[in-house]
Structure 1
């Protein structure tokens, strides 16, 4: 692939930023069209003028990975400060520690279990008649039992997805650990941190290359694909085809911003598990940069709802009964020549940031190898 190519990209989020940099360093010309007035997609961060707090504009993003290559890559463009995500949850009039750990179990049941006692107790609560959990609810009942499920997951899940947990796949819950020690680190990955100057600056540095041109407030249309030697599309998969098969379902988020003096809630993330509370969580953004000090605070109440035509899509909706609509679009994408679909929206997959970067690296290397061959 020695001959220089002109590559078009839809979107300036993590996926296209990683791919653009890889190709630009190999001598190819990159033109990126980003519909928003900024790069970094939903990872966008900006310094609040009034308080000085670094705000995660589209909700908090915490970097965590076991992938050493991905960790090395992001640190090439940004110094990552140590950060441990310690989530709290309000349920039934009390505040608990998440993920469910030995302290949560002892507090919830009013016990003083040792690790082995807690493990045996939770197993006694579990529904052992479920041998192959298929749904979110079956997964929860099998591994933690009904009481913990209804207190910590059922209400939150109903608010987040607006779907009966019986219809959601078990894989959603499998991402959440249960620990029989007092470790309240939400993630178990080796590498965890926050970018010292925010994600947007990191992505700007990735895109800072003479072979990369970024057009903000500009959309790459499917009709424009022929202008380029190849296109990487990180927009919604169904939008590329003009929603010809129908609209893929997404959840979107609304944020109710409020400010306060000092420390408003004492932690970065407070989940609200009770279904009667309309929001899923409150995030206090100053706590995502604990190395900084600010007199004022910026908080978000987070509400989940069905994504409309003009909303920002956040989470693809997968159900246990399968998805013929998605399969129809995937079949069309597989036949596409000159276009690679990448990212959460382009592949219709929920991916954490590290997985997004790994998928982007794999995609660009597969493209390079194919062109070389």
Structure 2
């Protein structure tokens, strides 16, 4: 079959490779001049540091098959994400852990003592938290909320935490031990040669043709037996019902000699600091040595028409509009919407790859049984 993949990020690359290995002819197009989407990495021309051009990406997963899949295309090195935050003129570890609590309150509590102490700070009058702010006040209390969540959240989302749903703060962001590993996952690491190399390797197959700087139009759909579209869902329909809401990021690059901040990521929790964090990219490759350093200050704002969409907002208005776009998409034959933009969901890399593998396998099953591939393998409304 003749298959078109719109987008050369992980979704398009993985689906394309699976179908190419099954004998199908695959074309991958991307409007950007490079593959790998927002995971794109390259050597900084001034410092030679491997840089994450669209912001830091740390690979973490409990999915053994996905971990083995990415390592097949490029070796990974051990990497533990240890995030720091500056607030009230002090530096703390994130996520909030026993060290953070003892340091912030000037105490030396054991886990059981700290748990009881934090419960005494919590607003237990909030039985059923509806908003982000209520969730934080209920589980960590006003002082930790003000220091670590309020300002950062306002900058990241562009609205007060009382306007955000409690679901954004899904799990209790407190550990009553000294574990400062940001993630819980079994497999964690960084690709030795960057993410771009992985995607290039995945796309390196005789049945795959890649065209960069190439825009897609709906008029091309009849030319192919099937299309997998990983662009913006509303963009496919030329935004005819309006635009879905996203946050975008601006990056302010600067260089220095030596070590600027002593860690890969430093958050800034106070609203008075306009940026959300600074990332120092040579710390993402601790097995390398560099005399010079490249850093990026990161600013979050509403996504405009010509901006790169990063985080789907998915608040009430967006969800109502999303339902309408999903209904339109389900009436389109021969197109499956995939990935972060195609399903308007925030997806970690490992989930993106898992869904791409499963989507490709489902397509092969549908083809074998003579069934039509659905518009969504994973519903955006789930």
Secondary structure, counterpart of 2:350 in structure 1? helix
Q: Which residue of 2 aligns with 1:173?
A: 169
User: In structure 2, how many angstroms separate the alpha carbons of the residues matched to 1:285 and 1:121?
Assistant: 37
* Contact 1:167/1:321 (<8 A) preserved: no
**TM-aligned CA deviation for residue 134 of structure 1:** 2.7
Q: What is residue 378 of structure 2 aligned with on the other side?
A: none
The answer on whether the counterparts of 2:139 and 2:172 sit within 8 Å (CA) in structure 1 is: no
Contact 1:169 1:320 in 2 (8 A): no
- Distance in 2, matches of 1:100 and 1:173, equals 13
Contact 2:152 2:270 in 1 (8 A): yes
Q: CA deviation at 1:150?
A: 1.2
Alignment match of 1:356 (pick from 352, 372, 377): 352
Q: 1:156 to 1:176 in 2, by over 3 A?
A: farther
- The 8 Å contact of residues 99 and 176 in structure 1, kept in 2 or not, is answered as no
1:1-373 equivalences in 2 (<5 Å): 5-174=1-170, 177-319=173-315, 323-373=319-369
Tell me the CA shift for residue 334 of structure 1: 2.1
Q: Which runs of 4+ in 1 moved over 6 A?
A: none
Shift of residue 166, structure 1, vs aligned partner: 1.9
Unaligned runs of 5+ in 1: none
Aligned residues: 369
1:176–1:289 distance in 2 versus 1, CA, 3 Å: farther
User: What CA distance in whole angstroms lies between the structure 2 residues aligned with 1:235 and 1:358?
Assistant: 18
For residues 155 and 119 of structure 1, what CA distance do their matches in structure 2 show? 24
Supply the distance in 1 between the matched residues of 2:250 and 2:318 (Cα, whole angstroms).
27
How many Å apart are 1:136 and its aligned residue? Answer: 1.5
**1:174-218, CA deviations, whole angstroms, 9 ceiling, x for partnerless residues?**
267311000000001000000000000000000000000000000
TM-score (norm 1): 0.97
Describe the superposition over 1:232-265 as per-residue Cα deviations: whole angstroms up to 9, x where unpaired.
0000000000101100011100000000001011
Is contact 2:149-2:269 (8 Å) kept?
A: yes
Aligned 8 A contact 1:135 1:320 in 2: no
Stretches of structure 2 that go unaligned for 5 or more consecutive residues are 370-382
The Cα shift of 1:335 comes to 2.4
- TM-score, L = length of structure 2: 0.94
CA distance in 2, matches of 1:285, 1:230: 39
